[in-house]
Amino acid sequence: MKKIYLSSPILCLLPALAIIPVLTNLILNIHLGGVYLLLDFLKSAITPSTDKLVILSAIKGLGITATIAISSWAISSFTGIIIGIISSNKFWIFLKGPSWLGKSIRRLLAFPRSIHELIWGLLLQSTLGLSPLVAIIAIVIPYSALVARVVADQIDTIDDRSLIALIQAGTKPINALITSIGPAILPTIISYIGYRLECSLRAATILGIFGMGGIGSELELSLRSLEFNEMWTSLWLLIFSIFAIEELLDRFRLWLFTKSSSGRRIIISLILVIIITIMSIILLYIQNQGLFLDIRWNTVKLTDIQKLLIAFNELDWLNLYADTLIMTLLAAGIAIGIPPLTLLILPAEIGGKFLTIIWTFFRAMPIPLTALILLLFTTPSIYVATLALAVQNIGVLGRLLKEGIEQQKNELFHSVTSTGAKMRSAWLYSRLYSESKSYLGFAAYRTDVLLRETAVVGVVGGAGLGWQLQESLSSFDWAQVILIISGYSTLTLIGEAISEYSNNNWINSSNSTPSHHSLQY
């Protein structure tokens, strides 16, 4: 048993070794011309442009991004809940319908979920043309499927004794389902949906960087023309808004769950969501008159088998898959290992505060933007892409780990320190130990997300399936596009299956109660 006790905190730290090859490669490729640019870039952080036009266009950009984010979030939440209910086993069991229906809906949902919103965006842009509506639909497709999965899981895993009791007492099955399951799962689902708002904002920003308008476009254009002062104006605005949303959502969760009157609070928050959604859709309409007017359906000529075969032979599958996997694994290693490592090195109060700020910053940085900035002083490579991916995920996993540790009771830590252990080893074997199993479980989910996200950096780092997809799209080679997307989808589905398997192993072996964090994958 002792061996197992030792292994899980070490398992959290070991993946950090991935930073060695990545940093070595980057440092070896740093060049002087780029160092000056980097200094210039950093200096501009304290002197963002205060030009009225720049500020106004940054605010306008943020407005567009925020409205895209809120509308797509709201739509995906509602469709997600509905699809989630009808894809749960319980729904069909109590409706006395065929249970395979729920299962097959769930299987089908794996496909939209396995493809990153950016890929949906690039595809939809090719068929629907230029319109912010494309960005909304691109986010809604995978997000609905993600929400649906969580909702279905929640419905199927909760205790259903009261439900059975109600049905036996003669209540109509559907009413029984709503009254018994609703209150039990709503808090978790609302909490998860709240978190999706943060994700939506990030997604809308990334879509902007790839040409779908808003603050992402502002950032991309100013960075591309090396106008760092202007870029920082937009970047600070984005960082503060992401920070504000995170804070608001944290307070909202506290407000929602601390008092016994949470039933009423759930209703109030639902009404609030309705108002925000309607306002955002109206706002989007006002901001962009051409929004719905520009939508045109254009079919892409679907390719024949022969073209698919040619395309299949043209693609260097081995390298594409290898690059994609290496990026994913290295980035996952860094993102999993660095947060506990830095907490271990800086366990003091000040260190913790410092890390919170850094991690907030990391979370707010759009991944392709990080990659473009790294490219200023180093050469394009798979390592640039890897580090850019890792940076944001260090922010995500760091916050998760720190909040998990902060919620712990102090007894174990005190009992370990009272044995005379040094602070750091005490931290390692009490704080990190208690958290490590669930942390590794979340980390497995996160690796899944990382695999999907390689699509975003592949383009910039010039590596992997993401890069090839962009190249094929710009050559309008639909046969290749179809193959790459299927290839991507297969890969992420396999990844999902593996991480689910390992996650079940970790979660089941720990006794931690599931918190809302466990759903943040």
Partner 1 sequence: MPTMPIRKNLFVSSVFLVGNIFLSTPKVIAEQTFSIGAIPDQNPERLNRLYKLLSEELSEKLEVKVRYVPVINYTAAVTAFRTGNLDLVWFGGLTGVQARLQKPGAKVIAQRDIDSKFTSVLIANKSSGIPTIKNIKDLKLLKGKRFTFGSESSTSGRLMPQYYLEKANVTINSFKGKRPGFSGSHDATLALVQSGSYEAGALNEQVWKANLSRKRVDLSKVKVIWRTPPYANYHWLAQSNLDKRFGKGFTSKLKTVLVGFSSKSPRQKEIMKLFGAKKFVPANANQYVEIELIGRKLGKIK
Q: Minimal distance in Å, beta carbon 347 to partner 1? A: 38
- Among 58-66, 106-114, 372-380, 414-422, which window interacts with partner 1 (CB under 8 A)? 372-380
Q: Minimal distance in Å, beta carbon 48 to partner 1? A: 18
Is residue 52 near partner 1 by the rule CB under 8 A?
A: no
Select from 99, 380, 403, 505 the one that contacts partner 1 (CB under 8 A).
Answer: 380
Q: Which long-range contacts (CB under 8 A, 24 or more apart) does 155-164 make?
A: 155/84, 155/85, 155/88, 155/90, 155/91, 155/181, 155/185, 156/88, 156/89, 156/90, 158/184, 158/185, 159/184, 160/90, 163/90, 163/94
For residue 444, how many C-alpha atoms fall within 13 Å in the half-sphere facing its CB? Answer: 21
Select from 99, 162, 171, 379 the one that contacts partner 1 (CB under 8 A).
Answer: 379
Is residue 74 near partner 1 by the rule CB under 8 A?
A: yes
Select from 107, 224, 353, 414 the one that contacts partner 1 (CB under 8 A).
Answer: 224
DSSP assigned state of 31: -
CA–CA separation, 472 and 465 (whole Å):
10
CA–CA separation, 499 and 462 (whole Å):
27
Phi, psi of 294 (to 5 degrees): -80, -5
Please state, as a whole number, how many other Cβ atoms lie within 10 Å of the Cβ of residue 107: 11
Select from 56, 183, 272, 410 the one that contacts partner 1 (CB under 8 A).
Answer: 183
| 334 vs 473 by CB, closer to partner 1 | 473
Is residue 127 near partner 1 by the rule CB under 8 A?
A: yes
Is residue 30 near partner 1 by the rule CB under 8 A?
A: no
- Among 86-94, 191-199, 327-335, 470-478, which window interacts with partner 1 (CB under 8 A)? 470-478
Residues 106 and 152: beta-carbon distance below 8 Å: yes
Phi, psi of 211 (to 5 degrees): 105, 5
403 Cβ contact list (under 8 Å, min separation 6): 517
Is residue 473 near partner 1 by the rule CB under 8 A?
A: yes
Residues 216 and 138: beta-carbon distance below 8 Å: no
Q: Minimal distance in Å, beta carbon 466 to partner 1? A: 13
| 116 vs 399 by CB, closer to partner 1 | 116
Select from 239, 276, 346, 376 the one that contacts partner 1 (CB under 8 A).
Answer: 376
Q: Minimal distance in Å, beta carbon 33 to partner 1? A: 2
CA–CA separation, 75 and 285 (whole Å):
16
Select from 14, 59, 82, 249 the one that contacts partner 1 (CB under 8 A).
Answer: 82
Is residue 430 near partner 1 by the rule CB under 8 A?
A: no
Select from 250, 476, 508, 514 the one that contacts partner 1 (CB under 8 A).
Answer: 476
- Among 176-184, 337-345, 399-407, 498-506, which window interacts with partner 1 (CB under 8 A)? 176-184
CA–CA separation, 311 and 482 (whole Å):
10
| 16 vs 223 by CB, closer to partner 1 | 223
Q: Minimal distance in Å, beta carbon 63 to partner 1? A: 18
Q: How far is CA 460 from CA 67, 215, 225, 473, 507, in A?
A: 27, 19, 16, 15, 36
Kindly identify the residues of this chain, within the stretch 307-336, that bind partner 1 according to CB under 8 A: 314
The end-to-end CA distance of the chain, in Å, is 30
190 residue type, one letter: I
Q: Which two tokens stand for residue 415?
A: 């009992």
DSSP string, 51-85: -HHHHHHHHHHHHHHHHHHHHHHHHHHHHHHHHHH
| 198 vs 218 by CB, closer to partner 1 | 218
Interface mask (CB under 8 A) for partner 1, residues 242-281, using x and -? ---------------------x--xx--xx-xx--xx--x
Please report, as ranges, the residues that interact with partner 1 according to CB under 8 A: 29, 31-34, 36-37, 74-75, 78, 81-82, 125-130, 178-179, 182-183, 186, 210-211, 217, 220-221, 224-226, 263, 266-267, 270-271, 273-274, 277-278, 281, 285, 289-290, 292-294, 296, 298, 314, 375-377, 379-381, 462-463, 470-471, 473-477, 479
